[in-house]
Amino acid sequence: KMRVLFVLSSMVLMANAFAPSLNSMSSFQRAASSLKGMKSVRSQRVAPSAKLDAIFFDCDGVLAETERDGHRIALNMAMKEKGLKVGNQDMKVDEKGYGELLSIGRGRLRLIEFWKKNRWDQMDIQLATEIYTRSKVIFNELVEAGKIPLRPGVNYIVDEAIAAGVKLAVCSNADDKAVERVVALMGKERASHVRIFASSSIKHTKPDPEVYEVAMKALGVNPSDCVAIEDSLAGLNAAQTAGIACIVCPSCYTAGAADYHHAELVVKGLNELDLDSIIQQAHSTQFQLSGANS
């Protein structure tokens, strides 16, 4: 009996001695299982972001600050050529003043309004038409001369998209030729990868979604696999009405001009974005149709 008790006691002691090792092994296995679980969760989160077929840019205000650095400068140059004066000074529209004019129609209507605000008594619709027509020519010359810079981050996004095989397009209300000149600022190689859908492609301008619908049909892509980058509420509504997730990057004139909380993402500059962050927005679960709530 004593021998049996001794053997049993020895077995208990040995079991206790190895218990920490067994417990450690169990902890390791649990940790391993946990790591597998974490990897699985990460994979599930990242997997949807692998699908992005196209990025759509607006032109004015997104690719470049064309209103401030182009159209405003061109208008001032055209007025100077005509010899327009306020006192002894050349008539000019400053940055703030031009921003206020953007809410007023287009072209000569803006010029008439500017003259009214400055109480210029030599207003004439024919003169306004001539200046506006001349300013468009000057604008194109400024773009071709490289006087209007692209916004920081544009070329980086374009390069990443091209490398990843993501289709690129510009969807704009503007004149086709004007858009082509802005896109050309990217350089010949980049520009060759960018399709343009502008005024000649559509009957209805933004906030109507037509330009996006035309672009998606031409590129053969679905709205759920695209992202638009806009700078205005009209552009945001156009993209989301077409079913496309939209990132808003306000221009100097649209920052603070509207509520963009319905956008999937709002950034101060395109240099805050890369392809990965854009892809994530294409599959955002927070998508809402801003047109239905604005």
* Residues contacting residue 208 through CB under 8 Å, at least 6 positions apart: 202, 238, 241
- Alpha-carbon distance 176 to 170, whole Å? 10
Tallying the residues shown for the chain, one arrives at 294
In tens, the pLDDT along 181-191 reads 999 999 999 99
Distance CA 258, CA 204 (A): 22
Give the integer Cα–Cα distance in Å for 242 and 259: 19
Retrieve residue 56's tokens. Answer: 């759509």
- For residue 270, which of 154, 149, 169, 181 has the smallest C-alpha distance? 154
Query: Mean pLDDT over all residues of the chain?
Result: 82
Cβ contact 238:206 at 8 Å: yes
Q: What is the pLDDT of residues 194-247, one digit of tens each?
A: 999 999 999 999 999 999 999 999 999 999 999 999 999 999 999 999 999 999
pLDDT tens, position by position, 12-50: 444 444 444 434 443 333 333 332 333 222 222 233 345
What residue type is 283 in one-letter code? Answer: H
Q: Which residues are catalytic?
A: 58, 60
pTM of the model: 0.76
